[in-house]
Amino acid sequence: MANTSDIKKGLAIELNNDLWTIVDFQHVKPGKGGAFVRTKLKSLTSGKVVDNTFN
């Protein structure tokens, strides 16, 4: 399993039985609570773009 520090633009990942490429990402470290990564993913099969958050 990969860590959130491994996320880079152009990286291909498997999520929900589909292949996605990372179009954009932002590491967010709020003052309260834990850090998380917001990503914009593009499906390699359908071309659909979705936003996803990883903790």
Instruction: Assess whether pLDDT exceeds 80 at residue 22.
Output: yes
Domain that holds residue 33: 4-54
Q: What is the pLDDT of residue 36?
A: 92
Into how many domains does the chain fold?
Answer: 1
**What b/e string do you get for 19-47 counting C-beta neighbours within 10 Å, with b at 16 or more?**
ebebeebeeeeeeeeeeebebbbeeeeee
Q: pLDDT value at position 1?
A: 66
User: Could you tell me which of 33, 35, 39, 34 has the C-alpha nearest to residue 53?
Assistant: 39
Strand partners, 25: 39
Lowest average pLDDT, out of 4-8, 12-16, 39-43, 46-50, goes to: 4-8
- The CATH number assigned to the domain holding 42 equals 2.30.30.30
Task: Say which DSSP state 18 is in.
Answer: E
Residue 25's nearest CA partner among 1, 51, 3, 55 is: 51
Q: pLDDT tens digits, residue range 23-50?
A: 999 999 999 999 999 999 999 999 999 9
